[in-house]
Amino acid sequence: MLILAMLSLALILHMSRSIKETVDEHTEETAEELEQEEAEREAQKAEEEAAMQEIEDAAIASHVYSHRGSAGAEEHSFKAYDAAIEAGSRYIEQDVVISSDGILYVSHDENAVYMTGYDGMYEYMSSETIDSLETDAGNKILRLSEVFDKYGDNVNYVIELKTNSDACTEAFEKLVEEYGLEDSVIVQSMHAETLESIEKKYPDMPKLFVCWNQGDFDYVLDLPYVDIISVKSDVETGIFNESNCKAAHDAGKLFGAWTLNTEEEIKGAIDMGVDNYFTDDTALALSIEREYGQEVRKASGE
Protein backbone atom coordinates (compact mmCIF):
# COMPACT_ATOMS: atom_id res chain seq x y z
CA MET A 1 0.00 0.00 0.00
CA LEU A 2 2.85 2.32 0.89
CA ILE A 3 4.55 1.60 -2.40
CA LEU A 4 1.37 2.41 -4.32
CA ALA A 5 1.04 5.72 -2.49
CA MET A 6 4.65 6.62 -3.25
CA LEU A 7 4.17 5.80 -6.93
CA SER A 8 1.06 7.95 -7.04
CA LEU A 9 2.90 10.83 -5.39
CA ALA A 10 5.77 10.52 -7.86
CA LEU A 11 3.30 10.53 -10.74
CA ILE A 12 1.58 13.62 -9.38
CA LEU A 13 4.92 15.41 -8.96
CA HIS A 14 5.97 14.48 -12.48
CA MET A 15 2.69 15.72 -13.89
CA SER A 16 3.01 18.95 -11.90
CA ARG A 17 6.49 19.56 -13.29
CA SER A 18 5.27 18.86 -16.84
CA ILE A 19 2.35 21.23 -16.42
CA LYS A 20 4.65 23.91 -14.99
CA GLU A 21 7.12 23.46 -17.83
CA THR A 22 4.29 23.70 -20.37
CA VAL A 23 2.93 26.83 -18.70
CA ASP A 24 6.40 28.38 -18.57
CA GLU A 25 7.00 27.59 -22.24
CA HIS A 26 3.62 29.08 -23.18
CA THR A 27 4.33 32.17 -21.10
CA GLU A 28 7.71 32.63 -22.80
CA GLU A 29 6.14 32.18 -26.24
CA THR A 30 3.39 34.66 -25.38
CA ALA A 31 5.94 37.20 -24.15
CA GLU A 32 7.99 36.80 -27.33
CA GLU A 33 4.87 37.19 -29.46
CA LEU A 34 3.88 40.32 -27.57
CA GLU A 35 7.37 41.76 -27.96
CA GLN A 36 7.29 40.97 -31.69
CA GLU A 37 3.88 42.58 -32.08
CA GLU A 38 5.07 45.67 -30.19
CA ALA A 39 8.17 45.88 -32.39
CA GLU A 40 6.00 45.61 -35.51
CA ARG A 41 3.68 48.35 -34.22
CA GLU A 42 6.65 50.61 -33.50
CA ALA A 43 8.10 49.94 -36.96
CA GLN A 44 4.76 50.70 -38.61
CA LYS A 45 4.42 53.90 -36.57
CA ALA A 46 7.92 54.97 -37.60
CA GLU A 47 7.11 54.29 -41.26
CA GLU A 48 3.90 56.30 -41.03
CA GLU A 49 5.69 59.20 -39.35
CA ALA A 50 8.43 59.10 -41.99
CA ALA A 51 5.80 59.10 -44.75
CA MET A 52 4.03 62.08 -43.18
CA GLN A 53 7.35 63.91 -42.83
CA GLU A 54 8.13 63.20 -46.47
CA ILE A 55 4.79 64.65 -47.55
CA GLU A 56 5.40 67.75 -45.44
CA ASP A 57 8.95 68.20 -46.75
CA ALA A 58 7.77 67.81 -50.35
CA ALA A 59 5.00 70.37 -49.85
CA ILE A 60 7.44 72.88 -48.37
CA ALA A 61 10.03 72.30 -51.09
CA SER A 62 7.46 72.71 -53.88
CA HIS A 63 7.54 76.48 -53.35
CA VAL A 64 11.30 76.82 -53.80
CA TYR A 65 13.19 76.58 -57.10
CA SER A 66 16.98 76.60 -56.78
CA HIS A 67 18.07 79.24 -59.31
CA ARG A 68 20.86 77.72 -61.47
CA GLY A 69 21.56 75.49 -58.47
CA SER A 70 22.86 78.74 -57.05
CA ALA A 71 23.93 81.80 -59.00
CA GLY A 72 27.49 83.07 -59.00
CA ALA A 73 30.76 81.49 -60.04
CA GLU A 74 29.56 77.91 -59.43
CA GLU A 75 26.21 78.27 -61.21
CA HIS A 76 24.98 75.35 -63.30
CA SER A 77 27.66 73.02 -61.95
CA PHE A 78 27.35 69.78 -60.03
CA LYS A 79 28.78 71.62 -57.04
CA ALA A 80 25.93 74.13 -57.16
CA TYR A 81 23.25 71.48 -57.66
CA ASP A 82 24.67 69.25 -54.92
CA ALA A 83 24.71 72.15 -52.47
CA ALA A 84 21.08 73.01 -53.26
CA ILE A 85 19.95 69.40 -52.89
CA GLU A 86 21.90 69.01 -49.64
CA ALA A 87 20.09 72.10 -48.35
CA GLY A 88 16.78 70.33 -49.05
CA SER A 89 15.89 71.41 -52.57
CA ARG A 90 13.61 69.20 -54.65
CA TYR A 91 13.68 71.56 -57.67
CA ILE A 92 16.91 72.56 -59.44
CA GLU A 93 16.94 74.87 -62.44
CA GLN A 94 18.72 74.40 -65.75
CA ASP A 95 18.97 77.01 -68.52
CA VAL A 96 19.38 75.03 -71.72
CA VAL A 97 21.00 75.95 -75.05
CA ILE A 98 21.79 73.83 -78.10
CA SER A 99 25.02 73.24 -80.00
CA SER A 100 25.40 73.27 -83.78
CA ASP A 101 25.28 69.45 -83.76
CA GLY A 102 22.12 69.24 -81.67
CA ILE A 103 23.47 68.62 -78.15
CA LEU A 104 21.75 70.35 -75.23
CA TYR A 105 23.99 72.19 -72.76
CA VAL A 106 23.30 74.01 -69.51
CA SER A 107 24.22 77.70 -69.65
CA HIS A 108 22.38 80.83 -68.61
CA ASP A 109 23.15 82.84 -71.77
CA GLU A 110 23.05 81.82 -75.40
CA ASN A 111 26.57 83.22 -75.72
CA ALA A 112 29.36 81.40 -73.89
CA VAL A 113 31.19 84.60 -72.96
CA TYR A 114 29.29 85.13 -69.70
CA MET A 115 30.19 81.77 -68.20
CA THR A 116 33.51 81.03 -69.90
CA GLY A 117 34.95 84.22 -71.36
CA TYR A 118 34.81 82.65 -74.83
CA ASP A 119 32.79 84.88 -77.14
CA GLY A 120 30.66 82.56 -79.21
CA MET A 121 27.04 81.61 -79.66
CA TYR A 122 26.40 78.02 -78.61
CA GLU A 123 24.16 77.33 -81.59
CA TYR A 124 27.13 77.97 -83.91
CA MET A 125 29.61 75.94 -81.84
CA SER A 126 30.17 72.19 -82.04
CA SER A 127 29.82 69.98 -79.00
CA GLU A 128 33.56 69.30 -79.23
CA THR A 129 34.30 73.01 -78.83
CA ILE A 130 31.80 73.46 -75.99
CA ASP A 131 33.17 70.43 -74.15
CA SER A 132 36.61 72.06 -74.14
CA LEU A 133 35.41 75.25 -72.40
CA GLU A 134 35.76 76.02 -68.70
CA THR A 135 34.08 78.55 -66.45
CA ASP A 136 36.00 80.97 -64.25
CA ALA A 137 35.47 78.52 -61.37
CA GLY A 138 37.04 75.71 -63.40
CA ASN A 139 33.80 73.88 -64.17
CA LYS A 140 32.88 72.39 -67.52
CA ILE A 141 29.71 73.36 -69.37
CA LEU A 142 27.42 70.47 -68.50
CA ARG A 143 25.41 68.58 -71.03
CA LEU A 144 21.79 68.22 -69.94
CA SER A 145 22.20 64.47 -70.36
CA GLU A 146 25.00 64.55 -67.76
CA VAL A 147 22.69 66.23 -65.28
CA PHE A 148 20.04 63.57 -65.94
CA ASP A 149 22.68 60.83 -65.56
CA LYS A 150 23.73 62.12 -62.15
CA TYR A 151 20.38 62.85 -60.52
CA GLY A 152 17.87 60.71 -62.44
CA ASP A 153 14.38 60.95 -60.98
CA ASN A 154 15.62 61.76 -57.48
CA VAL A 155 15.01 65.47 -58.07
CA ASN A 156 12.74 67.68 -60.16
CA TYR A 157 14.16 69.77 -62.99
CA VAL A 158 12.98 73.28 -63.85
CA ILE A 159 14.30 73.59 -67.39
CA GLU A 160 14.27 76.81 -69.37
CA LEU A 161 14.73 76.43 -73.11
CA LYS A 162 16.73 79.55 -73.93
CA THR A 163 16.85 78.81 -77.65
CA ASN A 164 13.50 79.34 -79.35
CA SER A 165 13.87 76.81 -82.15
CA ASP A 166 12.30 73.58 -83.31
CA ALA A 167 15.68 71.88 -83.04
CA CYS A 168 15.99 72.77 -79.36
CA THR A 169 12.42 71.74 -78.57
CA GLU A 170 12.76 68.44 -80.38
CA ALA A 171 16.10 67.64 -78.73
CA PHE A 172 14.57 68.41 -75.33
CA GLU A 173 11.55 66.17 -75.92
CA LYS A 174 13.76 63.35 -77.21
CA LEU A 175 16.09 63.51 -74.22
CA VAL A 176 13.25 63.61 -71.68
CA GLU A 177 11.67 60.60 -73.35
CA GLU A 178 14.98 58.74 -73.45
CA TYR A 179 15.44 59.16 -69.69
CA GLY A 180 11.76 58.71 -68.84
CA LEU A 181 11.68 61.97 -66.87
CA GLU A 182 8.47 63.53 -68.18
CA ASP A 183 7.03 63.42 -64.64
CA SER A 184 10.13 65.07 -63.14
CA VAL A 185 10.33 68.18 -65.35
CA ILE A 186 8.79 71.64 -65.28
CA VAL A 187 9.58 73.25 -68.62
CA GLN A 188 9.88 77.02 -68.87
CA SER A 189 10.30 79.56 -71.65
CA MET A 190 9.84 83.24 -72.35
CA HIS A 191 8.32 82.20 -75.68
CA ALA A 192 4.70 81.05 -75.45
CA GLU A 193 4.96 79.24 -78.79
CA THR A 194 7.67 76.98 -77.36
CA LEU A 195 5.37 75.92 -74.53
CA GLU A 196 2.53 75.40 -77.01
CA SER A 197 4.72 73.09 -79.05
CA ILE A 198 5.73 71.00 -76.02
CA GLU A 199 2.07 70.78 -74.97
CA LYS A 200 1.43 68.53 -77.97
CA LYS A 201 3.84 65.82 -76.77
CA TYR A 202 3.68 66.41 -73.04
CA PRO A 203 0.26 67.82 -72.14
CA ASP A 204 0.68 66.91 -68.46
CA MET A 205 4.13 68.44 -68.04
CA PRO A 206 3.84 71.72 -66.07
CA LYS A 207 4.70 74.71 -68.27
CA LEU A 208 6.07 77.94 -66.86
CA PHE A 209 6.07 81.23 -68.75
CA VAL A 210 8.95 83.56 -67.92
CA CYS A 211 7.27 86.96 -67.84
CA TRP A 212 9.05 90.30 -68.19
CA ASN A 213 6.21 92.81 -68.58
CA GLN A 214 2.49 93.38 -68.07
CA GLY A 215 1.64 92.99 -71.74
CA ASP A 216 3.06 89.47 -71.82
CA PHE A 217 1.33 88.66 -68.54
CA ASP A 218 -2.04 89.70 -69.94
CA TYR A 219 -1.37 87.77 -73.15
CA VAL A 220 -0.59 84.40 -71.51
CA LEU A 221 -3.18 84.69 -68.74
CA ASP A 222 -5.79 82.71 -70.65
CA LEU A 223 -3.52 80.39 -72.63
CA PRO A 224 -4.47 76.80 -71.74
CA TYR A 225 -0.90 75.49 -72.12
CA VAL A 226 0.60 77.90 -69.57
CA ASP A 227 0.32 76.54 -66.02
CA ILE A 228 2.64 78.88 -64.13
CA ILE A 229 3.38 82.56 -64.75
CA SER A 230 6.67 83.56 -63.15
CA VAL A 231 7.33 87.31 -63.14
CA LYS A 232 10.44 89.41 -62.67
CA SER A 233 10.28 90.75 -59.15
CA ASP A 234 12.11 94.06 -59.50
CA VAL A 235 10.38 97.41 -59.00
CA GLU A 236 11.04 98.56 -62.56
CA THR A 237 8.76 96.01 -64.22
CA GLY A 238 5.95 96.58 -61.70
CA ILE A 239 4.36 93.20 -62.39
CA PHE A 240 5.14 91.49 -59.10
CA ASN A 241 2.01 92.50 -57.22
CA GLU A 242 -1.12 91.19 -55.51
CA SER A 243 -3.34 92.11 -58.46
CA ASN A 244 -1.42 89.89 -60.88
CA CYS A 245 -1.17 87.14 -58.28
CA LYS A 246 -4.95 87.14 -57.89
CA ALA A 247 -5.48 87.32 -61.66
CA ALA A 248 -3.29 84.26 -62.17
CA HIS A 249 -5.12 82.33 -59.48
CA ASP A 250 -8.50 83.35 -60.88
CA ALA A 251 -7.35 82.01 -64.24
CA GLY A 252 -6.45 78.68 -62.64
CA LYS A 253 -2.70 79.24 -62.85
CA LEU A 254 0.12 79.34 -60.34
CA PHE A 255 1.90 82.64 -59.75
CA GLY A 256 5.67 82.70 -59.34
CA ALA A 257 8.55 85.15 -59.18
CA TRP A 258 12.31 85.50 -59.67
CA THR A 259 14.70 85.99 -58.00
CA LEU A 260 14.01 86.28 -54.22
CA ASN A 261 17.05 86.14 -51.95
CA THR A 262 16.29 87.98 -48.72
CA GLU A 263 14.05 87.20 -45.78
CA GLU A 264 12.01 90.32 -46.49
CA GLU A 265 11.47 89.39 -50.14
CA ILE A 266 10.54 85.80 -49.40
CA LYS A 267 8.15 86.60 -46.55
CA GLY A 268 6.55 89.30 -48.70
CA ALA A 269 5.99 86.77 -51.47
CA ILE A 270 4.47 84.28 -49.03
CA ASP A 271 2.15 86.96 -47.66
CA MET A 272 1.13 87.83 -51.23
CA GLY A 273 0.22 84.22 -51.97
CA VAL A 274 3.02 83.47 -54.42
CA ASP A 275 3.06 79.75 -55.21
CA ASN A 276 6.72 79.31 -56.13
CA TYR A 277 9.82 81.38 -56.65
CA PHE A 278 13.42 81.13 -57.77
CA THR A 279 16.12 81.81 -55.19
CA ASP A 280 19.90 81.74 -54.95
CA ASP A 281 19.67 80.86 -51.25
CA THR A 282 17.85 77.56 -51.01
CA ALA A 283 18.64 76.99 -47.34
CA LEU A 284 17.24 80.38 -46.33
CA ALA A 285 14.10 79.96 -48.42
CA LEU A 286 13.32 76.49 -47.09
CA SER A 287 13.91 77.63 -43.53
CA ILE A 288 11.46 80.52 -43.98
CA GLU A 289 8.93 78.26 -45.67
CA ARG A 290 9.08 75.81 -42.76
CA GLU A 291 9.05 78.32 -39.92
CA TYR A 292 6.83 81.02 -41.45
CA GLY A 293 5.33 79.87 -44.73
CA GLN A 294 3.48 76.81 -43.43
CA GLU A 295 1.46 78.85 -40.94
CA VAL A 296 0.69 81.65 -43.40
CA ARG A 297 -0.27 79.31 -46.23
CA LYS A 298 -2.43 77.19 -43.93
CA ALA A 299 -4.22 80.28 -42.63
CA SER A 300 -4.91 81.39 -46.21
CA GLY A 301 -6.40 78.00 -47.07
CA GLU A 302 -3.64 76.63 -49.28
Same domain, 57 and 68: no
Instruction: State pTM to two decimals.
Output: 0.87
Same domain, 24 and 113: no
Q: What pLDDT is attached to residue 41?
A: 87
Which of these three, 10, 34, 61, is where a domain ends?
Answer: 61
Could you give the C-alpha distances from 54 to 62, 101, 282, in angstroms and in order? 12, 42, 18
Q: Could you give the maximum distance between any two Cα atoms of the chain, in Å?
A: 119
Same domain, 175 and 276: yes
Q: List CB contacts of 19: < 8 A, sequence separation 6 or more.
A: none
Q: What is the tally of structural domains in the chain?
A: 2
pLDDT per position as a tens digit, 291-302: 999 999 989 876
Q: Look up the domain containing 155 and give its range.
A: 64-299
Same domain, 51 and 71: no
Q: What pLDDT is attached to residue 52?
A: 86
Q: What pLDDT is attached to residue 279?
A: 98
Same domain, 98 and 193: yes
Residue ranges in the chain modelled with pLDDT below 50? 4, 9
Q: What pLDDT is attached to residue 242?
A: 97
Which of these three, 61, 76, 98, is where a domain ends?
Answer: 61
Number of residues written out for the chain: 302
CB distance 35 to 43 below 8 Å: no
Q: What pLDDT is attached to residue 25?
A: 67
pLDDT per position as a tens digit, 140-153: 999 999 999 999 99
Instruction: Specify the DSSP class assigned to residue 280.
Output: S
Could you give the C-alpha distances from 121 to 35, 126, 127, 270, in angstroms and in order? 68, 10, 12, 38
> Amino acid identity of 218?
D
CB distance 257 to 278 below 8 Å: yes
CB distance 161 to 169 below 8 Å: yes
Q: What pLDDT is attached to residue 19?
A: 64
Same domain, 126 and 261: yes
Same domain, 210 and 112: yes
Count of alpha carbons within 13 Å of 119, Cβ hemisphere only? Answer: 0
Same domain, 8 and 49: yes
Same domain, 81 and 26: no
Q: What pLDDT is attached to residue 30?
A: 84
Which of these three, 61, 93, 112, is where a domain ends?
Answer: 61
